[in-house]
Amino acid sequence: MSVEIWDILNSKAVPTGKTVVRGQGFLKPGEYHLVVHIWIISSVGKFLIQRRSDERKLMPGEWAATGGSAISGETSFEAAKRELSEELGIRSNKHNLFKLIRLKRKNSFLDVWVITVDLPSEKLVLQKSEVKEVKWVTKDTLLQMIENGEYHNYGDEYFDNVFEKLDDYRGTFV
């Protein structure tokens, strides 16, 4: 695996000109890095979720959102586009990938993106080092998975914001 370098951002999400190598050193208070999540939904309102590879250091084997950290020099859009392509083989562009919200977290700015895709899960090209499996689920199934701990719990604020914005984006899901 190659070395991943992150841009360090200030409290207003502006690059400071400094970088950090992932896993080497810590961000100081007031320093942040950029993370992206991409929510993949079908035209009938199902969610494509992914189980992380068992070899991942962070959240191994957990069902979670598609995404990752932006690498140095990347915009949020470029990071979301790259993660979709690398992890699932989904191609995106400025006409089908939309930013829903930016959340300020403990040491990151988290940009949440959405794309509508109608592909059977077996047609996706999974990056096995990152993704163990994928499946399409209804909103009710996803909410149940979150409640019973099967899907990573990013926190009430995260899910409240994401589902509100997804509802705005697509109308209320069935």
Task: Enter the tokens of residue 98.
Answer: 């939309």
Quick one: pLDDT at residue 171? 61
Average pLDDT of the residues in 108-131: 95
Strands 47-52 and 131-137: antiparallel
E strands, the chain, are 5-9, 15-21, 33-41, 47-52, 63-64, 66-69, 97-104, 108-116, 131-137
Output the average pLDDT for the chain: 93
Note if the pTM is more than 0.85: yes
Whether pLDDT at 169 is above 90: no
Weakest-pLDDT range from 38-42, 61-65, 68-72, 168-172: 168-172
Per-residue model confidence (pLDDT) at position 25: 72
**What is the band of 174 on the pLDDT scale with cuts at 50, 70, 90?**
very low
Cβ contact 99:112 at 8 Å: yes
Instruction: Determine the average pLDDT of the residues in 110-130.
Output: 95
Give me the torsion for CA of 49, 160, 79, 13, rounded to 10°: -160
Query: What was the pLDDT predicted at 3?
Result: 82
Q: 157 falls in which pLDDT band (50, 70, 90)?
A: very high
Residue 173 has pLDDT above 70, yes or no: no
Residue 1 has pLDDT above 80, yes or no: no
Token output for 10: 């200030």
Mean pLDDT of 95-104: 96
